[in-house]
Amino acid sequence: MKSLFATFQFMTRIPVPESWTKDFDFNRFVEGIVWFPLVGVVVGAFAAAAFYFANQLFDSAIAAACYVLALALITGGFHLDGLADTCDGIFSARKREQMLEIMKDSRLGTNGGLALIFIIVFRILVVNHLATSASDMVLFYLIAAPVAGRALMVILMYRQTYARESGLGNVFIGKVTAKQTLITLAIGLMLVALLGQISAIRAWFFTLIFAYGYQRFIHKRLGGQTGDTLGGGNELFELCFLLMLF
């Protein structure tokens, strides 16, 4: 169970007692990949709750903004930062080595800023649309999206090369086994199906195709994946999943 608590500690801002992860070897974090869909359930449930209560007081657009804000707060903007860094590097029109250096820079560039604006705006618009077009299922969809996003991150890890010499992403990238990959995807699909039924299953498979396309796109430009591209992938997979529910 230590791998579960360590995964929550690593991927969220949810307080986890230090004693629950004491002596857990950082190099064993890859064992926690199978818990990624469960992390998605918890993160999605908190954010969906924020949407629900905001929707009782305000209109659906404000509630959608509260959902997006809750996601950012519970993760500490962890994945959003990865998306911004990835876009700053990938769209810099530089050579591979320079792209990786740009991605390491803590300063926010134009491409990263635009990526953050568009991912936030699009997500608010999509959630607002679902709130009106699928009001009876919207809460389930809002929980399912983080599940899909985190489960499909395994596509960016299995049989992939780490594009840097060292970094946090190196704990997962290229270290995930075929068994762990299949278990993670199976748990993710099962949870998505339970939450969103047929519509969510269809959205899952479209997002799976998108995930493979994103993996190849990044690999072609960087020669592998990084922690930033994992975070960026999560954000894009969540948005893609929600869009495919239309």
Mean pLDDT, to the nearest integer, of 110-135?
97
Is residue 65 classed as helix, strand or coil in its secondary structure?
helix
pLDDT in tens, 77-93: 999 999 999 999 999 98
Radius of gyration, alpha carbons of the chain: 17
* Mean pLDDT calculated for residue range 137-157: 98
CA 10 to the chain's CA centroid: 13
For the chain, the structural domain boundaries read: 40-243
Per-position DSSP letters for 27-62, written without gaps between them: GGGGGGGGGHHHHHHHHHHHHHHHHHHHHHHS-HHH
**pLDDT of res. 25:** 74
Q: Please, what is the Cα angle at 82 between 158 and 49, to 5 degrees?
A: 95
Question: Which of the 8 DSSP states describes residue 225?
Answer: B
Which amino acid would we find at residue 154? V
> Rounded to an integer, what distance in angstroms lies between the CA atom of residue 29 and that of residue 228?
17
Instruction: Please name which of 212, 207, 76 lies closest in space to residue 149, comparing C-alpha atoms.
Output: 207
**What is residue 203's three-state secondary structure?**
helix
At 146 the pLDDT is 98
Among 1-10, 74-83, 108-117, which is the least confidently predicted range? 1-10
If one compares 204 and 19, the residue with the highest pLDDT of the two is 204
> Does the global pTM surpass 0.75?
yes
Question: Any idea how long the chain is?
Answer: 246
Q: Is pLDDT above 90 for 24?
A: no
Write out the two tokens for 236: 């894009």
Q: Among positive and negative, which fits the CA dihedral 57, 46, 240, 100?
A: positive
Q: How far apart are CA 141 and CA 40, in angstroms?
A: 12
Give the count of alpha carbons within 13 A of 150, CB side only.
30
User: Does the pLDDT value for residue 166 go beyond 80?
Assistant: no
Across 195-205, average pLDDT? 96
pLDDT of 23 reads 77
Residues with Cβ within 8 Å of residue 9, at least 6 apart in sequence: 16, 21
pLDDT at position 168 is: 67
